[in-house]
Amino acid sequence: MYEVLISENFKWNEFIGNLYFSRYFDNNPALFLKTEENIPIIICTVDIPEFFNEYPFGDNKLVIVKNNNENQGILESLTDAGVAENVFTISDTSQMEALEICELSESVIDLLKSCGEYYV
């Protein structure tokens, strides 16, 4: 799997680890957190529905942050670290939860472009 390190010593709840950027199978952006020993802690995002790729803020910069249940507080951690900013919230009636639609920050976009990412 292709991974780009976004942040070392990323803090979320009681965990400190490394935050990575990757892609889902359909090429949409994904964020996940691993321990310093490279053990996965959480996937911070869910695969974004195709129709969001055409959203004016988008340009493949949008991610859906899972900020409930076991991921509670990850949105605040991503925002505090300057990784992503909440754009709007939608309701997922099938899962009975709110989904946080976020845009990756310009500093993250610049980092990704410097690593050869051309989809953002």
**What's the rounded Cα separation, in Å, for the pair 55 and 51?**
7
The domain total for the chain is: 1
In a domain, residue 120? The reply is no
- Find the domain containing 95 and state its range: 4-114
In a domain, residue 119? The reply is no
Averaged confidence pLDDT in the chain: 84
- pTM to 2 decimal places: 0.85
In a domain, residue 15? The reply is yes
In a domain, residue 98? The reply is yes
Query: CA torsion sign, 72 to 1 to 34 to 53?
Result: negative
Q: Which position has the token pair 């910069």?
A: 61
In a domain, residue 63? The reply is yes
For 39-96, the pLDDT digits (tens) are 999 999 988 776 555 555 445 688 889 888 888 899 999 999 999 998 888 776 666 6
In a domain, residue 11? The reply is yes
Other Cβ atoms closer than 10 A to 94: 6
